[in-house]
Amino acid sequence: MGREAALTVEQLAAEAGLPTSTIRMYQTKGLLHPPRRRGRTARYDGTHVERLGLVHRLQQRGFSLPAIAELIAARDLGARVGDVLGLDGAGGPDDWVPVRVSALRAAIPPGDLRPSLMLRAVRLDLVRWRRGRPYTRRWVMDAGLRMATLRVPSSEVLAAFERLRSTTTTIAGDFTALFEQHLWPALADQAGHDDQLDRVRSMLLELTETAQAVVAGALRDAIRDAADGFAARHHLLPDHGRAAWVDHAPPVLAERLSDAHRDEVPGEDEIQRYFDSPDGDDQPEPTTVDSPQG
């Protein structure tokens, strides 16, 4: 049905398979946007039919009418799904805060502080322009100030973030697919038993926190590996023998640099023996290597 079609409330009800009283109730609860008026006659169109279809689908998924009204109102105001579901949290690093000119001048060299730099940050959604001034998320502000303190050029920071964004988009897609394939079917099967909005919020928040922990841990390992490569390129470690500064290294570093415990690649038989042992408790615990005293 075209969006311009003019329907009476009776015709809309027949199109949606609902009584006219339900149509009017949906309007009262904010689920259905107001019709256009021609004199004293209300006229509905294809957008109202689409909205009723959306309400029906969400009801089938177990969403209550107040929850559906909340979702619709938020989307009509331009909110993103993450905002509606509470994924941004409150009072934390994802909050949007104003960017003060004094902070920009303190962090960015005068020659780099150009409108083009701000526009690039806006296009990357690091900055949003509201009521004549820029806003950014708290974590962006903190990270930007750290990079500025290290004297990394702002243009290179933005370029690095642009490359990073493509990677994080892929990671987010992977975790969203996990939710869709393994968590959403269980929610859909329970449609009608309780309000789904709070359940979806809870599961997505838990998935978000898990994804953050996984990515942060993997990133720490990757940075350690990259640091090893950096040290090798700049000859910070000897090819043979023992560096003099190892005797004064922190205990964890001293242990990693020693030959006492080298990682191994076990065979499948060894792994199976571990699986067959009672909770793996018959395996000897590794001993800690004390830091050499200089």
0.85 cut: is pTM over it? no
Res 230: pLDDT: 84
Cα 285 to Cα 215, 268, 280, 281, 282, distances in angstroms: 28, 20, 10, 9, 9
The CATH number of residue 24's host domain is 1.10.1660.10
In a domain, 53, yes or no: yes
Stretch 75-103: mean pLDDT, rounded? 72
**Which tens digit of pLDDT belongs to each residue from 14-60?**
999 999 999 999 999 888 998 888 777 889 999 999 999 988 888 87
Number of domains present in the structure of the chain: 1
In a domain, 48, yes or no: yes
In a domain, 17, yes or no: yes
| Domain span at 19 | 9-60
Res 243: pLDDT: 58
- pLDDT at residue 294 is higher than 50: no
48 vs 233: which has the higher pLDDT: 48
- pLDDT at residue 12 is higher than 80: yes
**Which tens digit of pLDDT belongs to each residue from 131-182?**
888 998 888 888 888 888 888 888 898 999 999 888 888 998 998 898 888 8
Stretch 270-278: mean pLDDT, rounded? 83
Strand-strand pairing, 96-98 and 41-43: unpaired
In a domain, 179, yes or no: no
**Which tens digit of pLDDT belongs to each residue from 96-117?**
888 888 888 877 877 778 889 8
Res 21: pLDDT: 92
76 vs 36: which has the higher pLDDT: 36
Res 252: pLDDT: 59
Q: Are 33 and 51 in contact (CB under 8 A)?
A: yes
In a domain, 273, yes or no: no
In a domain, 201, yes or no: no
Stretch 277-291: mean pLDDT, rounded? 55
226 vs 242: which has the higher pLDDT: 226
In a domain, 14, yes or no: yes
In a domain, 212, yes or no: no
Mean pLDDT score across all residues of the chain: 79
> Which residue, among 144, 139, 142, has the nearest Cα to 112 in the 3D structure?
144
Distance CA 262, CA 239 (A): 17
- pLDDT at residue 260 is higher than 80: no
Q: Position 162: which residue type?
A: E
